[in-house]
Structure 1
Amino acid sequence: CVFLLQVFLVLLTLYKSGEAPGIRQAMTDVTTKLGEAAQMTCQIVGRPLPDIKWYRFGKELVQSRKYRMSSDGRTHTLTVITEEQEDEGVYTCMATNDVGEIETSGKLLLQAPPQFHPGFPLKEKYYAGVGGTLRLHIVYIGRPVPAITWFHDKKPLRDSENVTIENTEHYTHLVIKNVQHKTHAGKYKVQLSNILGTVDTVLNVEIQGIKSISNNSVE
């Protein structure tokens, strides 16, 4: 009887002490198309059952039309209704109980055909002064990151002494130094292309007869 009582007391102690949250299945990176629902999932156990919270950029997410949380006690799921490229990023699931806490994170990647960002509308015409610098800045959306090609009067542009092209996952920036009327005026086309599609647009450039026009130069 004494032995059984000791076993009972040990089991009772273990039960009261509980079990810190542990990860059975960590979150993994998820790729989905922009505009579709994405599910971030992990498996976490613990005793007592951990309290589950979801975070993005250190900010706790709450149940809403955009974010939906569900759990069966072990498998925890965050559903993200994707609406913009900025929904990409790292999402974190944090589990906490009286014994401890643990977290696991995964990255949401969104695929989308390239398009020119509607928040940065293009102008009807761009200007630069003779001998000055022409700057054309295009902000875009698109994943995978598209191949970007610039053209001037149908001829591809490449980096050179006076031409610099800077491409990032959010914008493309064309800089031409010491511009001249005959050489640099006219139509510039930028083309964006990835596995989901291709888009292009034409920019009209006028070179004016003074060195610089600060109010109209494209920064």
Structure 2
Amino acid sequence: MKVVSALIVPTLALAVNAHFHLQSPEPRGPFVAASEPNFCDDYTHVTENRTDFPLNGGIISMNTGHPKWSAAIFISTDADPDSFDKFEQVNTFFQLEGEGDFCIPLNLASSNATGLQEGQNATIQVLFDGGDGALFQCADVTLTSDASSISCTNSTSSDSDTSGDSGSTGEDSGALGLTLNTNVLLGVLGLASLIPLMA
């Protein structure tokens, strides 16, 4: 009986922690696990404090408790997008493995989204699925031409590290502060279209 209990407790702990937290850009409101399956984590209206987000060299930073997951990113330029139908998909669904912090490169200028321009207000929505249903979080942003300057580190078993400042505004592979090994990994995972091509 003790063996069964020893196996059940860690499994329940994983189930309780199996969510995702959007860290950057700043989400619409505090994380509420019970609301995460709802549109924008149940924050249905735009916040007043928008985060600057670059058209080129952007990074979505998030934390997950799921060992294997898929996600997609959507955007809306409506003044107050309050439903799923006001968003357009920016990229194709991608799948990654691992728990912890992740840095998802996002170049809006080369994405499927059209009509985006500097100074424009927008809302980014992340759809996340860890195998137990879709979860949603939104961030209200103002689009800029400056590259992202957040520090972001991937929690992967790979020996490549993406930590560091991504404040470069150049078109080279260093715009995201990613190493060659990470670019190769992202290419294999189908994320290469989200980052600038290496010179």
TM-score (normalised: structure 1): 0.36
Structure having the larger proportion of residues in helix: 2
Higher relative contact order (CA 8 A, sep 6+): 2
Give the alignment's TM-score, normalised by structure 2. Answer: 0.39
Decide which structure has the larger Cα Rg and report it: 1
